[in-house]
Amino acid sequence: MSDQAIPEKPLALAITTRLALAAFAALTIISLLNRLNTFVTIPFTGDTSHRMALATPDVREVEFRAADGTRLYGWVMGKDSARHRIIFCKGQGGYVGHLLGIRSEQCSALDMQVLVFDYRGYNRSAGRPSEAGTYCDARGAWLFATKDLGWDGRKIIVWGQSLGGAVATKLTCDLLEGSSALWPGWADVQAPAGLVLECPFTCIAEMARKRMGFLGAPEWLSYCSYDNIGRAPALKLPVFHVHGKADEIIPFAQSQALHAAIAGPKRGLWPELSTHNDIWPTAKEEVGPALKQFFVEVTGG
């Protein structure tokens, strides 16, 4: 065995290695924080939604599979005799029972029945949340509504709120595209009657620049894209777009930019005093009749 000493690692190499490891750790932490910020949940016990469903008239619990097989939990809200059928993609926080009072009131006021579901990793739904996962969840909701609930796809209206606006937009684009890769085994995928966007953003990159501009280029570190404005030119169907001018979370200017990019027939409604989560309570006298008219126009009845 040689007595020759093993040369020490050059100082510059040691420093470079440590800096690289530190940078990798920092980027990993930032990516994790981005993910946690995107998929926020409201803590509650596992039986909360079950108890709420049992205690609420015209609400029944359902379970179905996302497009990739993940088990999902949801509710069907509203009377079976309702005129209109809605698939509702909720915002980033909470669960199906979040804002229950508002959605129940809307079911009655707008004569609609709604399928609302928890994304994977939320409440009783299995899996872990991700951008691609939420898109699979929405496609699964569409298949469940049209196959198991027997809803006519040509008369369904897709409605997305906040982050759910991005999920609803992607679902609508997927339906308009009708790709066999997205809808295996479905020879004739029907596009929905229309799309409702409630307080949507342009894309996650723009939201990152708004919330974390101090990082310089935070969009480079975004966990996901949710690119509404990039998909807007493909929305060649009727769109009802509502956004409160006093929104404290998503800038109203983002909705203006998104609205301008939507290709199909569109209507914008901008309540002056409404914030992010109170459009219905503060502006239902304006929003309600406009939505009812939109529903009738796009479904033909």
Q: Is the pLDDT of residue 27 over 90?
A: no
In a domain, 107, yes or no: yes
Q: What is the pLDDT of residues 104-129, one digit of tens each?
A: 999 999 999 999 999 999 989 999 99
- The angle at the Cα of 39, spanning 66 to 60, to the nearest 5 degrees, equals 50
In this prediction, residues 42-65 reach a mean pLDDT of: 86
In a domain, 269, yes or no: yes
Determine contact, residues 270/245, Cβ cutoff 8 Å.
Answer: yes
Beta bridge partners of 27: none
Q: Looking at residue 214, what is its pLDDT?
A: 47
Q: What is the pLDDT of residues 224-237, one digit of tens each?
A: 789 999 999 999 99
Q: Is the pLDDT of residue 64 over 90?
A: yes
Domain hosting 139: range is 39-299
Query: Could you tell me what percent of the chain has a pLDDT over 70?
Result: 80
In a domain, 71, yes or no: yes
**At 64, which CATH number?**
3.40.50.1820
Q: Which two tokens stand for residue 62?
A: 């359902």
Q: Looking at residue 159, what is its pLDDT?
A: 98
In a domain, 110, yes or no: yes
In a domain, 8, yes or no: no
Q: Looking at residue 37, what is its pLDDT?
A: 58
Alpha carbon separation from 117 to 88, 219, 234 (Å, rounded) = 8, 29, 25
Please give the tally of structural domains in the chain. 1
Q: What is the pLDDT of residues 11-21, one digit of tens each?
A: 776 677 676 66
pTM, whole model, 2 decimals? Answer: 0.86
In a domain, 155, yes or no: yes
In a domain, 21, yes or no: no
Q: What is the pLDDT of residues 128-157, one digit of tens each?
A: 999 999 999 999 999 999 999 999 999 999
In a domain, 239, yes or no: yes
